[in-house]
């Protein structure tokens, strides 16, 4: 059993913070002013209104992020492998492929699990599909991105910036070239950690254990291995969950 609802809010908020930080170049401005440079020359922050945000993966985190960016009047492109029809807010379109998200988005945010089908999803070829100067955000799994290809794209200014909470190798080595780049924002796999999410993880874990011990029904979405608890009463269809 696990706690799928514990930290999606924290990750979505962290991703939103990264969107703002990239768009407004906040880390770079912070570094400049600390060195005594108060000038405005060369500043190239962008407004988010009217820009396109692409979500690769549309589970709990992606859906919450969609809600959070609602007031910004952005256009959203969404890819989820289920491709099921559903009612979505205005300015939001589901597309049939990851490539369609990459081609159409000013900001691409990854929200998919890592598997052998999508390992290295963001590489030199797929980066080549993205808009010139687009931003990449990864709060999902480091293995989704080929870091050497990302480094090349950032150095060549093919991409305008990247915000990364996860890396191919964790912990990353200090000499990782991403850490030398002014157009990179990095955090240490903490997107899912907050005061509330850590509380939720502990509380939900205890609730899971007590449900089994008391013989109560449990929601199928918290069960990773149904065969381990064949006598558990399930309240929802495990195949009906939004992942």
The CATH number given to whatever domain includes residue 73 is 3.40.50.720
Which residues have C-beta within 8 Å of that of residue 81, sequence separation ≥ 6? none
Structure confidence by residue, pLDDT tens digits, 140-168: 999 999 999 999 999 999 999 999 999 99
17 domain-assigned: yes
pLDDT score, position 219: 84
pLDDT band at 215 (very low <50, low <70, confident <90, very high): confident
Question: Is the predicted pLDDT of residue 243 greater than 60, yes or no?
Answer: no
**Based on the domain organization, do 53 and 161 belong to the same domain?**
yes
**Based on the domain organization, do 166 and 227 belong to the same domain?**
no
Rounded to an integer, the average pLDDT of 30-38 is 93
**Based on the domain organization, do 152 and 209 belong to the same domain?**
no
Instruction: Enter the DSSP assignment of 145.
Output: B
**Based on the domain organization, do 130 and 200 belong to the same domain?**
no
Joined together, the tokens standing for residue 242 give 């939004």
**Based on the domain organization, do 89 and 202 belong to the same domain?**
no
Rounded to an integer, the average pLDDT of 163-188 is 97
pLDDT band at 242 (very low <50, low <70, confident <90, very high): very low
Of these residues, 67, 170, 199, 233, which one is catalytic?
A: 170
**Based on the domain organization, do 215 and 117 belong to the same domain?**
no
Q: Would you call 119 a catalytic residue per the annotation?
A: no
Question: Is the predicted pLDDT of residue 236 greater than 70, yes or no?
Answer: no
pLDDT band at 240 (very low <50, low <70, confident <90, very high): very low
- Give the number of domains in the chain: 2
2 domain-assigned: no
**Based on the domain organization, do 181 and 200 belong to the same domain?**
no
Q: Which segment of 19-23, 160-164, 168-172, 225-229 scores lowest on mean pLDDT?
A: 225-229
Residue 124 Ramachandran class (φ > 0 left, ψ -120 to 50 alpha, else beta): alpha
3 domain-assigned: no
| Three-state secondary-structure class, residue 225 | coil
pLDDT score, position 230: 67
CA nearest to 150, candidates 183, 115, 118, 173? 183
pLDDT score, position 169: 96
**Based on the domain organization, do 96 and 206 belong to the same domain?**
no
Distance CA 234, CA 1 (A): 13
Percent of the chain topping pLDDT 90:
78
Percent of the chain topping pLDDT 70:
95
Distance CA 78, CA 70 (A): 14
76 domain-assigned: yes
Mean confidence (pLDDT) of the chain? 92
| Exposure on the CB side of residue 65, measured as CA atoms within 13 A | 36
**Based on the domain organization, do 61 and 111 belong to the same domain?**
yes
Of 104 and 208, the structure prediction assigns the larger pLDDT to 104
190 domain-assigned: no
Q: Would you call 239 a catalytic residue per the annotation?
A: no
**Based on the domain organization, do 161 and 213 belong to the same domain?**
no
Contact indicator for 204, 182 with CB cutoff of 8 Å = no
1 domain-assigned: no
Of these residues, 63, 111, 141, 158, which one is catalytic?
A: 141
227 domain-assigned: yes
Which residues have C-beta within 8 Å of that of residue 105, sequence separation ≥ 6? 52, 53, 54, 77, 130, 131, 134
101 domain-assigned: yes
For 98, the domain range is 8-185
Rounded to an integer, the average pLDDT of 102-129 is 97
CA nearest to 137, candidates 150, 124, 119, 155? 150
**Based on the domain organization, do 44 and 160 belong to the same domain?**
yes
CA nearest to 95, candidates 65, 125, 75? 75
Q: Would you call 170 a catalytic residue per the annotation?
A: yes
**Based on the domain organization, do 116 and 219 belong to the same domain?**
no
Rounded to an integer, the average pLDDT of 65-88 is 93
């Amino acid at each position: 059993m696990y706690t799928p609802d514990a930290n999606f809010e924290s990750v979505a908020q962290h991703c939103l913070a990264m969107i703002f930080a990239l768009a407004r170049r906040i880390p770079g401005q912070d570094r400049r002013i600390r060195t005594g440079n108060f000038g405005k020359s060369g500043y190239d922050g962008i407004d988010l209104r009217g820009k396109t945000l692409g979500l690769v993966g549309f589970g709990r985190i992606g859906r919450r992020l969609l809600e959070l960016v609602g007031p910004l009047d952005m256009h959203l492109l969404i890819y989820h492998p289920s491709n099921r029809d559903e009612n979505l807010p205005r300015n939001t379109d589901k597309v049939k492929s990851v490539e369609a998200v990459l081609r159409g988005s000013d900001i691409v945010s990854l929200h998919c699990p890592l598997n052998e089908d999508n390992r290295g999803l963001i590489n030199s070829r797929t980066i080549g599909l993205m808009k010139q100067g687009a931003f990449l955000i990864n709060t999902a799994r480091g293995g989704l991105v080929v870091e050497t290809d990302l480094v090349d794209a950032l150095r060549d200014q093919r991409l305008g910036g990247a915000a990364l909470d996860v890396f191919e190798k964790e912990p990353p080595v200090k000499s990782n070239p991403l850490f030398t780049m002014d157009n990179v924002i990095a955090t240490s796999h903490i997107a899912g950690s907050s005061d509330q999410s850590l509380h939720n993880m502990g509380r939900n874990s205890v609730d899971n254990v007590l449900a089994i011990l008391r013989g109560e029904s449990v929601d199928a979405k918290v069960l990773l291995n149904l065969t381990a608890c064949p006598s558990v009463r399930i309240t929802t269809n495990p195949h009906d969950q939004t992942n």
